[in-house]
Amino acid sequence: MSLLGCKFLNLNEPIKFTIDMMQGLHRINYLSAEQAVGQVTVMKEPRLIGDWVLWLEQRPHEGGRTTALIRPWFNQDFIPQELTPSPINLRTRVHGYGGASLTAVKEANQLIVSWIDDHSGALWLQYWTGLDQKKSPLTPIQKPFCLSEKNQYYFADGVIDLQRKRWIGIMESQGRDFLVQFFLDIESQQPEIIYTPKDFIGYLSLSFDSKNLAWIEWQRPSMPWESSQLWSSNFNESGYLINKQLLLGAHSKKDKSISIFQPVWLDSGEIVVAEDSSGWWNLALRKEDLQSLSNSQWHHLWPKNEEIAVPQWVLGMSTIAYSDQKIVGLTCQSGTWHLSIFGKNGSLTSINQPFDDLSGLNAKDSRMVAIASNSFIEPGLLELDLNNGDWKHSLARKPVIPRSLISEPQAIWFKGFNNQLTHCWYYPPLFQSEKSAPLLLRIHSGPTAMSNKGLNLEIQFWTSRGWGVVDVNYSGSSGFGRSYRQRLKDSWGVVDVVDCIEAVKYLINAGKAHENMIAIQGSSAGGFTALSCLYNQNIFSAAACRYPVTDLVCMSQSTHRFEENYLDYLLGSLQKNYHIYDERSPLSNVDKINCPLIIFQGMKDKVVTPGQTRNFVDILKKNKVPVEAYFFENEGHGFRDSTIKKYVLELTDKFFRDKLNF
């Protein structure tokens, strides 16, 4: 049905998209939308459990449902066993973006699995047996049972304390974070609060002997990648926290702010963590005396102009692991990831393997797992033996595109805002000369995210159709050091816009793009930058945005607790800088936009509300700007359903071809 002149779609009704909408297009060598986004299962958060490997899969063909799978280590012939079958959906809502929905530990030959189910918001538990039998599936000891009451709280980021038979994790309730515990095997408990931080808490890490807990805290208005602290505490005989210590980070507002990421305990009682006091997220090691508050206890043994951390938008991310006296880490240099072993004597050994886009690192018993890809292989499960370097890589599906039809990214450094060197990846078009090719400018979201070089079939969807694609790591992106991220401070909507426009101009001047065939695409914060580009430079022939930020004032007053103060960093406080919020909002500049635009919006979006998008579209229609808008009944901030993802990509393709006459 129609809504304010827009198309409103209900996933309960089938969406019909026929070949008639793509008349005249030759599809012989084209990568289809189904191949590019419809069939893509997202693998994440792998971990080792004894001789088994466990991971999560988000399945677009099941409406974006996330489930847990397990199989024996290195045994790709073993059909993965699903531990959380439908209708279970592993998802947390803590801090708005969630993450870390599942916890799993080994006890003797048993597997203990706890998870947060999105349908009930509750904490569930189940025991399995058979970890000692690597040739047959695990056997459930009993049915799953619920540790907490349903639909009362948000939980995430748990650890299982086997010594005290309890789950410890984060609870978000009534605008506060709490550290809570639930005892295993007792149903429908009330959460017991064992610690209340000043504001936010995350990245819990339990020591090997279960005597200490470490975690990260941060306070508004700071985001965790701007300023955070590392805390540690002992447990008393009753299991409550005592002797809480601030181990690293600013003691007061006068101290230098640093960002801290993912504490990891060593079996010696030492602790390693990523922190960016040097200007780069590097590893730091702290000796065993955790009672001393002196920062001299920290040893920076591996200084590098590389990043070993990422912005903490979601919980459960991991770039550091420890196993059998080996500290393993993922480091990023200029958008390319590497895998290394860090010796406590200061040595650094690169691990030879073919992947350069890595995440979700976990290690145990001289083995490691991660999610890995490169420019020719989709993300999959990487299993690697740390002793001999042997590895295997498992994909969620068979390869859908031959290497000969893949456009390989080229790293380009160009002069962006204030002539500062800025990074992007350029993907040449296939089957067409670059000079006459249309160019698609992709703007990542965040805006702290990073455009990497792992195989992205949505990009290949465009290059297979004769497009060149530029994926810009504009100022504010991660992976290039703290100063690169801080270029965007107080300058969102200015510096990022200039960077993106200059990337396009660079490619036009280099003869790699047709100046009259430029399109732009962005989502969320990237949608804000895309819309800002439209009214700052008249070089675009078409634009596509998914749930774009259009009204900065409205967003600052309506978004969830986690990022409600993020705009203070990007623009300054609303109270003192209301005029900036107003002046830089695409809504305030909508009359300057005349570029054809297609917009997609989820009706359950709590970050960018549907009303903001409707208002923006209505004005464009009133101004006679060619605009199409599609609203999806069951989608939020980020589309999960495969049907919707295909539909969005196919509509965007048709819209661009119509407007560029390509």
Q: What is the pLDDT of residue 78?
A: 95
Q: What is the pLDDT of residue 336?
A: 96
DSSP classification of residue 148: B
- Alpha carbons 524 and 536: distance in angstroms, whole number: 19
Q: What is the pLDDT of residue 8?
A: 43
Tell me the backbone φ, ψ of residue 265, rounded to 5 degrees: -80, 145
- Contact status, residue 199 vs residue 218, Cβ threshold 8 Å: yes
- Alpha carbons 277 and 300: distance in angstroms, whole number: 10
* Residue 26 CB contacts under 8 Å (≥ 6 apart), including other chains: none
Strand partners, 393: 382
CATH architecture label of 2-37+407-660: 3-Layer(aba) Sandwich (3.40)
Sign of CA pseudo-dihedral 147, 153, 157, 159: negative
The whole-chain average pLDDT of the chain stands at 91
How large is the average pLDDT for residues 517-530?
96
The residue extents of the domains of the chain are: 2-37+407-660
Place 5 in a pLDDT band, splitting at 50, 70 and 90. Answer: very low
How large is the average pLDDT for residues 622-651?
94
List pLDDT tens digits, range 478-514.
999 999 999 999 999 999 999 999 999 999 999 999 9
Q: What is the pLDDT of residue 289?
A: 58
- Alpha carbons 234 and 257: distance in angstroms, whole number: 26
Q: Is the pLDDT of residue 366 over 60?
A: yes
Residue 249's Cβ-side half-sphere holds a number of Cα atoms within 13 Å equal to 24
- Alpha carbons 442 and 423: distance in angstroms, whole number: 13
Q: What is the 3-state secondary structure (H, E, C) of 38-91?
A: HCCCEEEEEEEECCEEEEEEEEHHHCCEEEEEEEECCCCCCCCEECCCCCCCEC
Q: Is the pLDDT of residue 293 over 80?
A: no
Q: What is the pLDDT of residue 18?
A: 32
Place 577 in a pLDDT band, splitting at 50, 70 and 90. Answer: very high
How large is the average pLDDT for residues 466-486?
97
Q: What is the pLDDT of residue 250?
A: 86
Q: At what angle do helices 525-536 and 495-509 cross, to 10 degrees?
A: 60
- Contact status, residue 183 vs residue 122, Cβ threshold 8 Å: no
List pLDDT tens digits, range 524-553.
999 999 999 999 999 999 999 999 999 999
Place 296 in a pLDDT band, splitting at 50, 70 and 90. Answer: low
Q: What is the pLDDT of residue 564?
A: 84
The pTM of the full predicted model, rounded to 2 decimals, is 0.92
Give the DSSP per-residue string, 304-369: -SSB-----SSBT--SEEEETTEEEEEEEETTEEEEEEE-TTS-EEE---S--EEEEEEEETTEEE
How large is the average pLDDT for residues 632-636?
92
Q: Is the pLDDT of residue 225 over 90?
A: yes
How large is the average pLDDT for residues 326-330?
97
Q: Is the pLDDT of residue 180 over 70?
A: yes
- Alpha carbons 378 and 492: distance in angstroms, whole number: 32
